[in-house]
């Protein structure tokens, strides 16, 4: 193409260029004088321009039309009722197919950008509870935990010997009193939960499933780790949103408790809890070997085809096990260490019999109770 050429169109050329100058409603059919970096519009008795090619804006490519606006000129239009001539099109901006800015950067880049933004939104959604939870006042968290405790409805077990045994275990595993309260609930489910506000509940089903007090100590140590890191509040906020702390006190607290029974803390939180449990057991001179054995038995006991409700609320549902986690506790056992039992035989039996020896404790439990 020469440095300057011409695209001409008359009023009878339906596909030829047509033009509105934005100042009146007249539709013009000018000739277009082309140059390398600009163009001019020439009518029978008028001429306008030059206009830079870079100032053209693709407005409408639907219906086979090619319509362009001009930067800074709201009503200015230059269009074709069909595709423009090749030498003209070589200078014009591409017609929009997906949207102005997408066409400007290209579809592949736009898709990649959307993917990055979506990943960032998901990441923030998952991580935000961990950032927000430390900012929640302890008093609010304590109130939420207290409300959940009240929903257990008289199921906490009490007997003189059992309370003494539990206190002895707590003194060894939580000497700094990180937990506000640790209770045993008369609930026949193999589980333990850390409520918001530093409250820990061991279910009697877990006590009966354990073969020794050392196994209970290992589980208690893990729940204490979740308390120290406020993992429960983080998990609830991730699962149920900010309503947990902003509106949870008058809402479905029982629903929150049921959510806790199936709440998964995530690998990093479980790893921290494992480490906290091992440190506490070593400080109390309690062997982690029995806890490793407990994990092994629990994993084997999870047989497919069981009752969905019951299995969904076992300790394994919220504390997923793996060979590596069991191995961590097994490897932490120090050879030659003169470990001592977490409780004496008499204390262990008192702990196991505490719910049976409490004549006032409420018995019976089901999913429909909602705790």
Return the pLDDT at 253: 47
Return the pLDDT at 240: 61
Return the pLDDT at 296: 82
Return the pLDDT at 276: 95
Return the pLDDT at 248: 46
Sheet holding 31-34, edge to edge: 5-7, 31-34, 38-42, 47-52
Report the candidate in 326, 365, 313, 297 with the shortest Cα–Cα distance to residue 191. Answer: 313
Q: What is the CATH number of domain 5-96?
A: 2.30.29
Report the candidate in 39, 36, 38, 37 with the shortest Cα–Cα distance to residue 8. Answer: 39
- Dihedral sign computed on CA atoms, order 167, 170, 172, 177: negative
Return the pLDDT at 264: 57
pLDDT digits 0-9 by tens, 71-114: 888 888 888 888 777 877 777 655 545 555 555 555 677 677 77
Helix, strand, or coil here: 47? strand
Q: In this structure, what are the phi and psi dihedrals at residue 333, rounded to the nearest 5 degrees?
A: -70, 125
Integer CA distances (angstroms), 294 to 184, 214, 316, 351, 370, in order: 19, 10, 11, 18, 28
- E strand segments, 53-177: 56-60, 66-70, 73-80
Q: Would you say 147 and 253 are in contact if contact means Cβ atoms under 8 Å apart?
A: yes
Q: In this structure, what are the phi and psi dihedrals at residue 357, rounded to the nearest 5 degrees?
A: -90, 5
Q: Kindly give the interhelix angle for 213-228 and 267-283, rounded to the nearest 10 degrees.
A: 120
CA distance 318 to 30: 75
Element (DSSP H or E) covering residue 162? helix 160-173
Report the candidate in 173, 208, 180, 175 with the shortest Cα–Cα distance to residue 194. Answer: 180
Return the pLDDT at 190: 87
**Residue ranges in the chain whose pLDDT is less than 70:** 1-16, 60-63, 92-107, 110, 119-133, 135, 151, 239-266, 299, 301-323, 364-371
């Amino acid at each position: 193409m020469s440095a300057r050429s011409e695209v001409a169109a008359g009023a009878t050329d339906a596909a030829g260029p047509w033009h509105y100058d934005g100042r009146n409603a007249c539709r013009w059919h000018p000739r277009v004088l082309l140059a390398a970096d600009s163009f001019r519009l020439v009518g029978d008795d008028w001429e306008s321009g030059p206009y830079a090619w870079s100032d053209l804006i693709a407005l409408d490519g639907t219906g086979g039309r090619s319509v362009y606006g001009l930067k800074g000129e709201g009503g200015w239009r230059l269009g074709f009722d069909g595709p423009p001539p090749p030498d003209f099109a070589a200078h014009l901006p591409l017609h929009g197919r997906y949207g102005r800015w997408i066409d400007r950067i290209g579809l592949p880049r736009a898709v990649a950008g959307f993917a990055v933004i979506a990943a960032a939104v998901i990441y923030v959604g998952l991580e935000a509870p961990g950032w927000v939870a430390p900012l929640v006042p302890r008093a609010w968290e304590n109130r939420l935990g207290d409300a959940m405790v009240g929903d257990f409805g008289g199921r906490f077990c009490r007997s003189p010997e059992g309370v003494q045994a539990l206190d002895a275990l707590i003194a060894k595993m939580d000497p700094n009193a990180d937990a506000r309260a640790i209770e045993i609930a008369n609930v026949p489910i193999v589980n333990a939960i850390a409520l918001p506000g530093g409250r820990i509940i061991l279910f009697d089903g877990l006590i009966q499933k354990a073969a020794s007090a050392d196994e209970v100590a290992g589980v208690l140590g893990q729940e204490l780790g979740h308390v120290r890191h406020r993992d429960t509040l983080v998990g609830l906020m991730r699962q149920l949103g900010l309503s947990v702390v902003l509106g949870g006190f008058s809402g479905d607290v029982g629903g929150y408790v049921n959510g806790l029974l199936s709440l998964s803390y995530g690998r990093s939180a479980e790893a921290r809890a494992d480490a906290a449990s091992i440190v506490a057991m070593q400080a109390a001179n309690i062997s982690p070997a029995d806890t490793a054995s407990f994990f092994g038995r629990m994993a084997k006991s999870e047989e497919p085809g069981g009752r969905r409700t019951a299995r969904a609320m076992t300790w394994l549902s919220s504390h997923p096990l793996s060979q590596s986690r069991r191995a961590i506790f097994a490897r932490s056992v120090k050879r030659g260490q003169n470990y001592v039992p977490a409780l004496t035989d008499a204390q262990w039996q008192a702990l196991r019999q505490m719910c049976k020896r409490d004549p006032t404790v409420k018995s019976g439990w089901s999913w429909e109770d909602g705790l």
